[in-house]
Every structure is written in structure tokens, then in C-alpha cells.
Amino acid sequence: MTVLGVLKFLFICLEVLLIFNLLIVVHELGHFLAARWRGLVVEKFAVWMGKPLWKKKIGGVEFILGSIPAGGYVALPQLAPMEAMEGKVESDRSQLPPISTLDKIIVAAAGPIFSIGLAFVFAVLIWLIGRPVSEMETTTTIGYVQEGGPAAAAGLQPGDRILSVNAQPVSRFGGMGNINQSIIWNIARSETPFVTVEYVRDGKVHTAVVETMTPDREGLGRRNLRQIAVYPAMTPMIAKVAPNSPAAEIGLKPSDLVVAADGIPLRSMGALSDVLKSKPGQAIDLTVRRDGVEKHFNVTPRVPEGDTIPRIGVTWDDRGMTTLAHPNPFQQVRDSVMTMWETISAVLEPRSGIKAEHLSGPVGIMRLYYQLFEAPDGWRLALWFSVILNVNLALINLLPIPVLDGGHITLAIIEALSRRPINVRVLEIVQSGFALLIIGFMLYVTFYDVLDLPWKVPKQPQPAAQELRFTPTAVPAPPQPAKPE
């Protein structure tokens, strides 16, 4: 990696840490400010968990930076015994004045409320500046059908426009947010190995029952999701061009749109690969749209160094053409709530193809942030994802599970209804038990998150352009002037 590459990597890591920690700090700040307002004793304000990397006492509160990048906490000994996750408290809980049910509910609810508030702030920013929307998020038209795959066996073809999957209307192939309208999601979360696909071809509506496939996973990684081997209609757009490659030699550039090959309209990168494979060593006439003008280029694929497959030497932008959308803040938050609901419902359904291992913990979330920041308009994408993440953080914390904010609220209501405090010993056992369950679950998903990290170079059918090495073609030497006799 070059010095510039290292600096870029470090800068993106800094961006990830800043935005990820902002989410944690704002949530915990809600608890902290509410506790101060209601007169509770506040012992600690921690960002991240585990052994402290740094701590300092200010105004009677110990501020801590933990060593495990997983959430944070505000230690409130009057609220509930949380030693299993927050460590020992200094105050003698029995000597502290009791607090009212209302105080407990306000302090517990303040964190999720602040998270929702931050989600709205990000949503307003996205409403103003827009977010990039890929072609995958705007079409249900099939661009490519894998030969020998389930969709091909069921008779689906490029150009078919999918209307519904398992009777669920769809409006796009994939993408985050409001995932119940996604083709990929509805296939993955299907409760049977078969999906019913309704589609339009030549103006007529057809129905096909497609048997899904689940590709084998490599090693101990997450199980792959159900699919039917169809891909969205996307105009192949060049992201990078390898030096000395056939594409570079004929003058292809990033952002060029390859709309046809030998007169065959292209709806996907896969379709172009099929054309190149069908004519090995032969020149291909590419129709390229650049700045709204179509041009023709003749290119002959060559085998790069260390490879066996002829290539033209480009990396494709897997988003295709993008546009800027300006969804209103309420729509963004509503879509985030629906995404959360769909995800939990799918995980809890035993027959669904979505399992708990497909969820992500802090490591997976930070990795996704890194990938978003790497993309063009990365800040827009990261802000938009932060809307979804903040809503998820708020809703998860409101679940009535001891240790979580919703658990504190539930316990406070139980105490109010029974008109007596819950036995401290019982409360400690319940809190510690659920704390261990949550920690265990976090370790479980983190195990898969770590396996997903790029420890090794993945096997790719199309290597990235910067990894391809082409030998320059021989260029005839210019004629030399004749020497005088």
C-alpha cells in the first residue's frame, strides 16, 4: 500500500470512529442529562465497555473511555444494579435516597429519545443535501439471469419486470431502508425453499414458482442467504481502468457507460462478460456513452499477468448510475422503523432464511461505515445509514429486557403497580443473568463480524482494476532520420 493509501485508510478510520462514537455519546448523554435534571447520583459516564483506556473525574463524575468498542453506559446506582456490565459502584445503594417511578422512566427513556432526536437531525441533513440512490434501488427489472441458476430454470429472462415475491409487492431489487419492498430481502427471508414470483413480460403478467438456492459458505463464516440468481438491470459503468490494459489503450475512462457490445444492448456487467467470453481473442465493438454522447470503441481483450482469462481491464461501479433523492425526515424514520420490524420478525421466524448470525455487532457496523466512507459521496451515505442505525439503537433499547432501557422502564412500572420495590437480591440476579446473555450474544455476532473482515484476498471472478497487470503492447519505434553519408 502506498503512503497515500495508508493516509486515506487512516482518515477513513478516523471518520468511522467519530460518527460511531457520536451515536454512543448522544444516547448516553440523554441518560446523563435526564439524571442530572431529576437529581439522581451519577457515578460514571463511559463510552465503550471493558477495561478503561482513559478515565478522569470531573465534577464528581468519572468519565471513562473503555477498551471494547461496544456501546457505553452511565452508572446510576439508584436506578438498578448493573455491576455485571458497569463494574462496582462506589456508593452504598442502601444509603441513597429512593427515586420515584416517574424519575426512573424519564431517565431510562431519555437515551432512546436522544437517539431518535439524532436520527431526525441526520434525516433533516439528508433531506437537504440528498442521498445517492443506485439503480438497484430504483428498478425491479431483471438485467441478467445466471445460466443454470434457479431463475433460468423457472423461465425468467432479462427484461422481465418483477411485481411481487410471495405476494409481497416490490419496488426495487435491494438496498437498506424499508427492506420489505426489496426483491433480494423477500427471497432471503422466505419461509420455504420456494418463492412465487409475479412478473411482467411483453405487457402480460406471469407467475413462476422458483426453487431458491443457498450457496455453500467458506469456512466458519455466515451462512449465505437464499437467492434465485437474478441481477438488476443496471447500465455497466466503469469505476477504474487498469494501466496498460486494452481499455486504457483505446481511451476508456471512469464514469463511461458501456451500453452495448457488438450491437447487443447491455443491461448488466454480467451480460458484457458473456459477450467477451463468447469471442475470445476477437475485437469487440463497444458502444460507450460519455457526457450524453455515444461513441464506438473496438477493444480486444488480453490475458493479464498471472491470470488465464482475457479481460479488458476495468472495474465496474456496482451501483451503476446514481441519482440524489431527498426523502423527508419522517419518511426516513418510518422506513427505518419498518426495517427494524422486518429484521426482528425474520430472525424470530424459525423457517426464515434470516438468522441471528446475519445480524451485526459493533465490529460489523464499523466495517460497514468504512465501506460507505470509501464510496463516492461517502458522507451522504454514512449520514443516511446513521438514521437507520439511531432508530435501531433506540428501538432495541426500548425492548422490555432487563439491562436495556426498556427493562428499566418495565421494572419501574412493576414496582409502581405492586407498590413496593423489587427485592435487591432478585434484581441483581436477573440483571446479571440478562447481562451475561446480552454479552454472549454480542460475542456471537462479533465472531461472525470478525470472520467477515478481509483477512485474505477473496476469490473474485473479476479482479479489481488496480490489481490487474497488463504487459504494454508493442509500439512501433518512430522512424529515425537518415544519417548523412
pLDDT in tens, the chain (485 residues): 577 777 878 888 888 888 888 998 999 999 999 999 999 988 889 888 878 889 899 988 899 988 877 778 888 888 765 654 555 666 666 677 888 889 999 999 999 999 999 999 999 999 999 999 988 899 999 999 998 999 999 999 999 999 999 999 999 998 877 788 999 999 999 999 999 999 999 999 999 999 999 888 777 788 889 999 999 998 889 988 988 888 899 999 998 999 999 888 888 888 888 888 887 778 899 999 998 899 999 988 888 877 777 888 888 888 888 889 999 999 999 999 999 999 999 999 989 989 999 998 888 998 999 988 888 788 999 999 999 999 999 999 999 998 899 998 998 898 889 888 777 788 888 888 888 898 899 899 999 999 888 765 444 444 455 567 776 765 444 444 444 43
Domain shared by 208 and 141, yes or no: yes
Query: Measured in whole angstroms, how far is the alpha carbon of residue 180 from the centre of its chain?
Result: 16
- Per DSSP bridges, beta strands 194-201 and 161-165 are antiparallel
Domain boundary (275, 297, 324) is at: 324
Based on the domain organization, do 283 and 224 belong to the same domain?
no
pLDDT for 81 equals: 59
CATH code for position 251: 2.30.42.10
Q: What's the pLDDT at 467?
A: 61
Regarding whether 216 and 142 lie in a shared domain, the answer is yes
166 plus 251 within the same structural domain: no
Residues, the chain: 485
Residue 264 placed within a domain: yes
Predicted pLDDT at 429: 85
Look at residues 418, 415, 433, 417 and name the one whose alpha carbon lies nearest to residue 98.
415
Q: Does 225 share its domain with 243?
A: no
Residue 242 in domain: yes
Listed residue (337, 355, 360, 322) closest to 450, CA to CA: 360
Same domain, 228 and 149: yes
Residue 467 lies in a domain: yes
Do 138 and 229 belong to one domain?
Answer: yes
Let me know if residue 195 belongs to a domain.
Answer: yes
Q: Which of 292, 324, 356 is the last residue of a domain?
A: 324
Name the residue range of residue 450's domain.
235-314+445-475
Q: Please give the Cα distance from 467 to 461 (Å, whole number).
A: 13
CA distance linking residue 382 with residue 384, whole number of Å: 5
217 inside domain? yes
Do residues 308 and 450 share a domain?
yes
Question: Is residue 379 included in any domain, yes or no?
Answer: no
Query: How many structural domains is the chain composed of?
Result: 2
For residues 226 and 147, membership in a common domain is answered with yes
177 plus 218 within the same structural domain: yes
Query: Are residues 243 and 228 both part of a single domain?
Result: no
**Is 124 a domain residue?**
no
Residues 226 and 239 in one domain: no
Query: In the listed set 290, 324, 358, which residue is the last one of a domain according to the structure?
Result: 324
Residue 47 in contact with residue 32, Cβ under 8 Å? Answer: no
**204-to-163, 172, 180 alpha-carbon distances in Å:** 12, 20, 25
In whole angstroms, what separates CA 307 from the centre of its chain? Answer: 31
Query: Who's near 153: CB < 8 A, 6+ residues apart?
Result: 210, 211
Q: Is residue 80 part of a domain?
A: no
Which pLDDT value is given to residue 425?
80
